[in-house]
Amino acid sequence: MRRTTLFSRLAPALLIAGAALAGCSNSVKAPFDPGVCYYVVLPEQGEAGAPRFNVVAHDQPQIEFCAARLEEMRLRFLRMGGNNRDIIGSYQGQFIFIDRSGVSFARTLDGSRFFALARSGDGRLAMPGTIERPPAVPET
Given a cut of 50, whether residue 131 has pLDDT beyond it is yes
> What was the pLDDT predicted at 124?
80
SS3 per-residue string spanning the chain: CHHHHHHHHHHHHHHHHHHHHHHHCCCCCCCCCCCCEEEEECCCCCCCCCCEEEEEECCCCCHHHHHHHHHHHHHHHHHCCCCCCCEEEEECCEEEEEECCEEEEECCCCCCCEEEEEECCCCCEECHHHCCCCCCCCCC
Where are the domains positioned within the chain?
A: 37-129
Confidence tier at 79 by pLDDT (50, 70, 90): very high
Average predicted confidence (pLDDT) for the chain: 82
